[in-house]
Chains A and B, each alone.
Chain A
C-alpha cells in the first residue's frame, strides 16, 4: 500500500433528527483500509442511526460522507452497496423459505445472458462460507438454520459483494462464544486484506481484542476517538455511560428457601433426562451453546412445548402444564429471548403491554382497564421498575430494549408468579440497562421467588447465577457452583466436562 493510508471512509459532521429526537449531532469519524474502527455507546447513543446513514437507509440532515476521499451520497441501499459498503445488519433479514445460496447472493445474483446462473450462485456461496469456516450447506433452507447459523449467513451475505468497507452492527449478538471467536478471526483476516471494518458492539472484551481505534458515542454526540490501547475497559465504560459502573453484577443472596421446582427425568422431542431443582430465593443459570436445548427446557417448564416424559413438581404439588396458560395459572412466568417477536405487541402502548397477561386471565366481560389493569396501578408498576418513557401510552416499539424488557417484567409481576424464567434477559440491551435488569432479577429472588435464567452470555450467566447448569445436545451435562469460571462452564458446554451420559456431574476439579 502507499505511504500513510488515506481513509477509506470519512463521515464528517453528520447530523440527523427524527420528529422529537435529535439522533445525531455533528458526528465525525474515519476508517482507514486495514483498520478496525469500533463504534460503541449505549443503546440510543446513535450508533445504529449512523450506520443506517452509511448504508443509505436514512439520509443525513447535515454533514458529508467521503469514500476514498470522494464525496458520496446514497438515496437507496443499492447505491451504498455499489460504493463498496457492505453492512451486516443487527436484525436478521433472511428469507426463511429460500436456500442459503439464494440468500447470500440476494440483490446481486450472478446471471449468464440474463438467466440466473445457479451453478455460479452455489459455488460463490460455498466459497464465502468456506472463508468463514462454516459448514452450513448452501442448499439448506435458511429457515431451518439455528439463529447462530442464520447470523453466519447474514455475514456471508454482506461479504458477497466484496466490500472495501464492511460495517458490522453487533455481529456477535446471536453467537455463542466459540462462534464469536471464529468471527473475530475472520475480522482479522479481513483487516489483512485491507478492508476497512467499522465494528459496532456492546461487548467490551471484543472491542479490546479486535479494534485499532474506538469512537464512543453518547446521546447522539461523539465523546472521543482514541487508540484502543489507550482505552482500558473501565475508561471505555465510563465514557459510554458517563459514570462508573460500581457494581455491575448485584451481590448474591442467601438462597435458603425450600424447593420450588423439581423436574424428574423430564424429556420431549428436543431434550431428555432433565433433572433440575430450583429453590426459592435462588437464581439458577442455564448455559450451553446455541442449539443445546436451553430454550426448549425453558418452554417445557413453562408449558409452551411441554415435556412428554418425566414429572415435575411446583411447590410440592404435581405440575404438568400442557400449555403456556397452564404454566401461568400455576405461577410460572416466561420472558422469551426474541422480545420483538414473542414478547411484545410492538404497536401497542406500554400500558397495554404491561396489562397483557392480566387481561388474558380477566373475566370474559371485564373491562380491559378494570381493577389491577387500570392505568393507575399499571403506571405504579412501571414506575417501580424505573421504566423510562416520555408517556406510558406511547407505542412500546419506541423504547430501548432495556425499557421494553422492564415492561415485560412488569407484566409478569402483576400475576405475582413464583417461578420466573428469563431467556437471554439482556440480549441486545446496553451496558447500563443490563445492570438494572440484573438488579431486578436478584431483587425478585431475594423476595422469595425462584429464577431460572437461560443465557448464552457467559459472563452474565456466571456473574448473576447462584448455580449454573450446563446443557449439551439436549441434556444437562453438569452443574457449576457460584464462583465457577467461564472456562469451567465452557468446557461442559462443548461436551468436554465428564461423561455425557451421566447427568449433573460436578463441575471442574
Chain B
C-alpha cells in the first residue's frame, strides 16, 4: 500500500533582498539629489564618484561574506588592511620596480594571516570572535611598534589602481564588480561554495556527510584575509602611501559585518550571498552621499546606519519566524 498524502505546503515566494536594497538605495540617492538640487550628482561623473566609494568596503565585505556564511566571523580585517597598506608602500618606496614584489608579499602575508585564523578556529576550537579579535590586536601591535606615520610611498604607476579608468569607469570599480562576480560564481557553482553553506548551516551534519569542515573554514578565512589585503593595496594606492591607522579609521571590521548582515546573510551562517552584501555597501555609500548633499553632520549619519542594521536584522528574523524547521 502506498499512500501519497502530502500535506499542503505553503510556498514562500521570497522577495529578492539585493534587488530591494538596490532600488531603495537608488531612490534615496535620487531624492536627495533632487531635493538639494545637486543635479551634478546624477551625472555619470557623480555616479562614478559614488561607486568609487564602495570599492574599499565592498572588497572587505566580500571576504567577510564568505566567513560569515560558514558561521565564522573576522574581526581582524581592519588591522589586516592597515598591514597591507603599510607593507605595500613601505616595500615600494616609490620605486615602480618594487610594485610586483610588494603586491606578492602583501597577498602572501594576508593569506598566511587568514590561514592561521582559520586553523586556530577549526583546530584549536577557539571562538572565531575571540580568535580574530586576538589576531587583529596582534597585527595592530606589530604594526604600531614599527610604524607610527605614513611609511614610504607608492609610485604613480600604482596609483593608477585607484585613479585610473577606462572611459568613465574606474579600474577599481570594475575590479570590485569582477571580484563580486567571481565570489558569486564560487558560491553558486563550486563544491567549495556548496560546502561553505553546509558548514554554516549545520556543521555536524556537514561532517557526517563527509565534508572536511576544518578545511572549508581555513579556506574561507584565507580568502577573507586575502580580500582584506587587497583592500589595503587599494587604500595605499588611493592615499598614495600607507599608514597604520587606515584600517581602523575606516572601521572596516565592524562596517563589513554590518553590510553583510544588511544584505541578508545570516550571522549564524548557512544563508545569504554576495549581491546582498554589495547592495548593503551601496546603501551605506548612498547614505553617506545623501547626507553630504543635505549638509547633515557625520554624527546623525552613524545613528542612521546603526538603525538600518538593527532594522534589517529584525525584518529578516520576523520573516523567518515559524518557518525555520
Across the interface, B1 reaches (CB within 8 A) one of A96, A106, A107, A178, namely A178
Task: Flag if A94 contacts B205 (CB, 8 Å).
Answer: yes
Contact string against A for B residues 307-325, beta-carbon threshold 8 Å, 1 for contact and 0 otherwise = 0000000000000000111
- B residues 177-216 touching A (CB-CB < 8 Å): 188-191, 193-195, 197-198, 201-202, 204-212
Q: Given the complex of chains A and B, what is the CA–CA distance between A77 and B193 in angstroms?
A: 20
Inter-chain residue pair count (beta carbon < 8 A): 106
In whole angstroms, what is the CA distance A111 to B189 when docked? Answer: 9
Write the A311-352 contact mask toward B (1 if CB under 8 angstroms, else 0). Answer: 000000000000000000000000000000000000000000
Q: Which of A135-143, A200-208, A409-417, A432-440 contacts B (4 or more CB under 8 A)?
A: A135-143
Q: Is B12 an interface residue (CB 8 A)?
A: yes
Interface size on A, residues (CB 8 A): 45
Contacts of B7 in A (CB 8 A): 146, 290-292, 473
B30 to A: closest C-beta gap in Å: 34
Contact of A109 among B194, B201, B271 (CB under 8 A): B194
Which chain A positions have C-beta within 8 A of B1? Answer: 178, 181
Most chain A CB within a 10 A radius of its CB, from B5, B10, B191: B5
Known contacts A97-B270, A102-B194, A135-B4; is-contact A107 B325 (Cβ 8 Å): no
Q: Does B6 contact A (CB under 8 A)?
A: yes
Q: Which residues of B contact A179 (CB under 8 A)?
A: 3
Residues from chain A with Cβ under 8 Å of B12 in the complex: 144
Q: Mark B1-27, 1 if CB is under 8 A from A, else 0.
A: 111111101101000000000000000
**A93 x B9 contact (CB < 8 A):** no
- The CA of A135 and the CA of B3, in the complex, are separated in Å by 11
Tell me whether B194 and A77 are in contact (CB under 8 A). Answer: no
Partner of B5, one of A78, A144, A289: A289
Specify which chain A residues have a CB less than 8 angstroms from the CB of B201 in the assembled complex.
95-98
A186–chain B nearest beta-carbon distance, Å: 11
A385-419 with Cβ < 8 A to chain B: none
Whether A107 touches B202, Cβ cut-off 8 Å, given contacts A95-B197, A143-B325, is no
Q: Which residues of A contact B209 (CB under 8 A)?
A: 77, 93, 106-107, 157
When distances are taken between beta carbons in the complex, the residues of chain B under 8 Å from A145 are 9, 325
**For window 120-160 of chain A, which residues contact chain B by CB distance below 8 Å?**
133, 135, 140, 142-146, 149-150, 157
Chain A interface, >50% SS class = loop
Is chain B's binding surface mostly helix, strand, loop or mixed? loop
Q: A96-B324, A144-B12 are in contact. Are A116 and B189 (CB under 8 A)?
A: yes
Known A-B contacts A76-B212, A106-B206; A178 and B198 likewise in contact (beta carbons under 8 Å):
no
**Pair A55/B191 contact, Cβ less than 8 Å:** no
Q: Out of A57, A87, A95, A135, name the residue touching B6 (CB < 8 Å).
A: A135
Q: How far is the CB of B123 from chain A (nearest CB, A)?
A: 14
Q: Is A108 part of the binding interface, using a Cβ–Cβ cutoff of 8 Å?
A: yes
In this assembly, does A251 line the interface, its C-beta being within 8 Å of a C-beta of chain B? no
Are A78 and B210 in touch, CB under 8 angstroms? yes
Chain A residues lying within 8 Å of B191, measured Cβ to Cβ, are 109, 111, 116
Known: A106-B198, A182-B2. A143 touches B211 (CB 8 A): no
B194 contacts across to A, CB distance below 8 A: 102, 106, 109, 116
Q: Pick the residue among B9, B204, B325 that contacts A96 (CB under 8 A).
A: B325
20 CB contacts below 8 A, A to B, read: A57-B208, A78-B210, A78-B211, A93-B209, A95-B198, A95-B202, A95-B270, A98-B270, A106-B194, A116-B189, A116-B191, A135-B4, A142-B325, A144-B323, A146-B7, A150-B325, A157-B209, A178-B1, A178-B3, A181-B1
User: What 9 additional pairs, Cβ within 8 angstroms, besides A181-B1, A473-B7, A494-B3?
Assistant: A76-B210, A77-B207, A87-B208, A96-B201, A107-B211, A116-B189, A142-B325, A157-B209, A179-B3
